[in-house]
Chains A and B, each alone.
Chain A
Amino acid sequence: MGFKSIQDTQEQLANVGYVCGRALATVVFLSLKLGRPLFLEGEAGVGKTEIAKALAAALERRLIRLQCYEGLDASSAVYEWNFAAQMIAIRTAEATGSKDRDALNTELFSENYLIRRPLLEAMSKQKDGPPVLLIDELDRTDEPFEAFLLEALSDFQITIPELGTIKAPEPPIVIITSNRTREVHDALKRRCLYHWVDYPDFERELEILNAQVPEASKNLSHEIVGFVQRLRDEDLYKKPGMAETIDWAKCLLALDVIELSPQVIADTLGAILKYQDDITRITGPEAKRILDDAKATSGMSE
């Protein structure tokens, strides 16, 4: 199981509901072919995390996700010993009067008492082939963790002092995402294939929306995409991402909207704009102007 060509990558991802451009398909294909981690950067909500999910679905592999946060350390990313269970084992050994120290030692630090965290899990043998390892929002952790990751990702092995080295039978497919709230160190980026995920253009966004929210009528999805595309040209603090477009479409469907109007937009703006400043800017006459603009341009393109 795998992708045969760039074209094939694009098609198979589309089959599981992820519509991507030729550029992204190329990078994904190469990352699989060369066995390199894929480093995806881009604004929030452009589908960076989704690609990992789609990849796992298309390849029928397990998806293992490591959500990064400030202060993430080895015990929550790699492995941890189950101390409570170990403690009980010791007490039991005492109660039964067992005196064999070595046996107890080997027993306590065996796989039975090991809690596997995402990284170790990804290095272990999986029944349906190497898993997809998603390291999400790497920019949220700190540099020491990056350095650790650098080592883990170059050898695909992890050493547990009490157990020995665990090496991945086949390297996992690694997808790293970053929202760029800080620069990730070049040393890590160098080991990866890099791709900047941009907002989709009109046609692509429409295609994605149709794939994700097929219930929406042709006319409505046209209007939604036109409006959001136009909205991204405005001077906003946070531009709406693809995820917001999909959310909004779902909201509008739930409200049985057939056509966009300034009133509807004002009522549901919270689904696409997440900052109060942005919302106050866009409500009222501004929304109407953008809507008219969007309608005019999409009318021309048809």
Chain B
Amino acid sequence: MAVYAKLEIPEKGEIVANITHFARALRKSGLPVGPGRIADAIRAIDAAGFSNKQDFFWALHACFVSRPDQREVFAQVFRLYWRDPQYLEHIMAILMPAARGLQEEHKAKAAERRAAEALLDGTKNNDIETPESERETEFDIDASMTFSVKENIRNIDFEQMTMAEMAEAKRLISKITLPVRPLASRRTRAANHGQMADWRATMRGAMRFGGDIQKLAKKQRQIRWPNLVVLCDISGSMSSYSRVILHFLHAASNAKGTGWAQVHAFTFGTELTNITRHLRNRDVDEALNLVGTQAKDWKGGTRIGDCLHSFNRDWSRRIMGQGAVVLLITDGLDRDDSQGLGAEMERLRLSAKKVIWLNPLLRWDGFAPKARGIREMLPHVDSFRAGHNIESLQSLADALSKPEDIGEKARLMTMIRKNNG
């Protein structure tokens, strides 16, 4: 650490206390402010002086803010606090218990969700209600005794699953991992049979024998793991799939040791929502609950072009660097007339290492790329696959580890060309 002059500011006792309080207010508003930063801020103010309000603002800003999205929060708290500290604390005191209460209520809901869902759905179907736990055990016995049940469930369309089948499907899905093909890094590491000479190690070895080179040390390229970016359609036409797919995403982003460097997830319908942070939540139901509250456009229309546009503009450059793979999950049915969709897809394709399109509509054998959206998008994806049951999700997992897999793209492209010709 750099060595600082000792702080000697007895006459500024007031301001030190005030900065500390201000930092606490910031922490309560969600900024990660630790004691180290407070000490920094006090030193900064000591250096910058506090005769000028603007300097004062920017000095504190430099110490407390570390991401662009924190700037707005900082400015708000700053405005409130330095106008009247008591007022802010008063507000905080009023708001905080309420907020905490909400949070707790929220958690309880998530934990109870599975049970509640089962009960509610039971009444809807006019079934005799079975407590969730009983139902699940019963089913487990079923599944373990007959092979075919499990085999069957892998091929049932998510849309046609019963409550119990869905529960089992979710359990199976949570076990699917998405393996990944590593990329070659520019870094190297020592390897006996590497292709590159490791001069440094060779010289070190030579020095042990008075300068005689005994053996040429070798090294080889290290491997590194790419990011996975998932764009999931949650519009009305996808409603029966998106929930299951989100389960799948949750499993994929939380699975340990599958290799992806980072998994970023977005939902889109009429607008694009980043749900990456929510999916990190351990409990799948709580995670999906948070996603539900954040994404406002469940079961609405789809504006694929617009959403891809905002993804390309706001996120692409930030998360697609270093060879990201994009998994696009949508049926390609666009409410808009798909104007400009092709261009946005092309941009997406150009900034990603690979784009895989998962389309549940492909489950029908007679599926033909008639919708304009599909025809606009298809030429720009690397691989086109079905995604309507566990089997297809599993085959996606297998396909990801192969270098060149184009799924059904070739077949459908021929159909499009025939139609046009």
Contact = CB atoms under 8 A, between A and B. Distances in A.
A71 B213 CA distance: 29
Contact of A6 (B4, B55, B185): B55
A30 B224 contact: no
B48 interface: yes
A90 B206 CA distance: 9
A33 interface: yes
B200 A83 contact: yes
Contact of B321 (A90, A181, A190): A181
Given A34-B43, A70-B322, A195-B62, A237 B203 contact: no
Contacts of A183: 67, 318
A71 B186 contact: yes
A237 B62 contact: no
A116 B351 CA distance: 36
Interface residues of A, number: 58
Contacts of A104: 210-211
Interface in A6-61: 6, 22-23, 26-27, 29-31, 33-36, 39, 41
A101 B210 contact: yes
Given A26-B58, A181-B318, A194-B62, A34 B47 contact: yes
A83 B199 contact: yes
Nearest to B313: A237
Contact of A22 (B43, B54, B188): B54
Nearest to A189: B66
B65 interface: yes
A196 B71 contact: yes
A182 B318 CA distance: 5
Contacts of B318: 180-183
Nearest to B224: A142
A202 B186 CA distance: 43
A156 B37 CA distance: 20
B36 interface: yes
Interface of B: 1-2, 4, 32, 34, 36-37, 40, 43-44, 47-49, 52, 54-55, 58-59, 61-63, 65-68, 71, 185-188, 199-200, 202-203, 206-207, 210-211, 213, 224, 312-313, 317-319, 321-322, 343, 347
27 contacts: A6-B48, A22-B58, A23-B58, A26-B59, A34-B4, A34-B40, A34-B44, A36-B2, A69-B186, A83-B203, A94-B211, A105-B207, A108-B203, A142-B224, A142-B322, A171-B2, A180-B318, A182-B319, A182-B321, A183-B67, A186-B32, A189-B66, A193-B44, A194-B62, A194-B66, A194-B67, A196-B65
Interface of A: 5-6, 22-23, 26-27, 29-31, 33-36, 39, 41, 69-73, 75, 80-81, 83, 86-87, 90, 93-94, 101, 104-105, 108-109, 139-140, 142, 144, 154-156, 171, 179-183, 186, 189-190, 193-196, 235-237, 277
